[in-house]
Amino acid sequence: MNLIPAKSDIYLDLQQHLFQEARILSAERYDEWLSTILSDDIYYRMDMPQRRFKEDKSGQRAPAKTPIFNDDLASLKVRIGRYNTGFVWAENPMNASRHIISNVEVFETDKKDQFKVYSIVELHRSRLNADRKRFTVGREDTWVKSEQGYRLLERLMTLDDSVVLDSNMNFFL
């Protein structure tokens, strides 16, 4: 695919959206995430990597990846509904989170109102007594410009760790 970088005003606009989204997610304002960031047609997916030999040709017989997240709007609402019950004891007291966004690239697509956005997010979580956990993922987003402004239509992520190193993933990236 021949990627054409988006014009700088679009780039700045979308980068601003990524930063705004990061602040919303760090603050666990998930209802706001649903209502101001996500498209109703959102597809949200995260995979885990597999360690495989480069020369191994048996990949086509390998099992399909089990996704960590494989969500649409309805299932994201179920996940967020769980937090909203107030019964998720692991999140009370609130854990400190910082979503750090970098390496943002914005490209045009075949569709006039859609943009491909690459970024890296690094999540720092400070939890419990002295637990500091760090997650990094590469993200490949599709953002769509609608009457309400830019909305996230699709987010495809792969976690960098082949073993998750925290006792929960009570967050979104």
Partner 1 sequence: MENLDDLIDFKTGRQKRLIYSDADIYEQEMEKIFGRSWLFLAHECQLEKPGDFIRTFMGEDEVLVVRQKDNSLKAFLNTCTHRGNRLCKADHGNSKTFVCNYHGWSFSFNGDLTGVPLEEAAYQNKLDKSKFGMVEVAQIASYKGLIFATFDESAPSLEDYLGEMKWYLDVWLDAMPEGTELIGTAMKVELPVNWKLAVENVSGDGYHLGWAHAGAMTVTAESDVAGLSVGNSEVDNASAVSVAGLNGHTVLAALDGKSGYAFYNEHQMAWDYLDKNRATAVERLGEFRGEKMWGSQLNFTVFPNLQFLPGLNWFRIYHPKGPGKFEMWTWAMVDKEMSDELKQVILNNVSRTFGPAGMFDNDDGDNLQAATEQSQGWRTRQMDIYTNMAIGGEHSREEMPGVVSDGLVCEQNQRYVYRRWLEMMKADSWEDIPFYNSLKEAQATEGK
For binding to partner 1 (CB under 8 A), which residues are involved?
46, 48, 50-53, 56-58, 61-71, 74-75, 78-79, 81-83, 85-90, 128-129, 162-170
Q: Which is nearer to partner 1, 74 or 94 (CB)?
A: 74
What minimum distance in Å lies between the beta carbon of 113 and partner 1?
Answer: 30
Neighbours of 167 (CB within 10 A): 11
CA atoms within 13 A on the CB side of 143: 27
Q: Which is nearer to partner 1, 103 or 167 (CB)?
A: 167
Q: Which is nearer to partner 1, 106 or 157 (CB)?
A: 157
Q: Which is nearer to partner 1, 50 or 103 (CB)?
A: 50
Q: Which two tokens stand for residue 79?
A: 């996940």
**What SS3 state is found at 10?**
helix
What minimum distance in Å lies between the beta carbon of 14 and partner 1?
Answer: 26
Core vs surface per residue 75-96: b (16+ CB within 10 A) or e:
ebbeeeeeeeeeeeeebeeebe
Q: Which is nearer to partner 1, 14 or 173 (CB)?
A: 173
What minimum distance in Å lies between the beta carbon of 101 and partner 1?
Answer: 20
* Angstrom distances, CA of residue 29 to CA of 1, 17, 71, 79: 36, 15, 18, 13
Q: Which two tokens stand for residue 161?
A: 């760790």
Q: Which two tokens stand for residue 22?
A: 């990061």
What minimum distance in Å lies between the beta carbon of 150 and partner 1?
Answer: 25
What minimum distance in Å lies between the beta carbon of 55 and partner 1?
Answer: 9
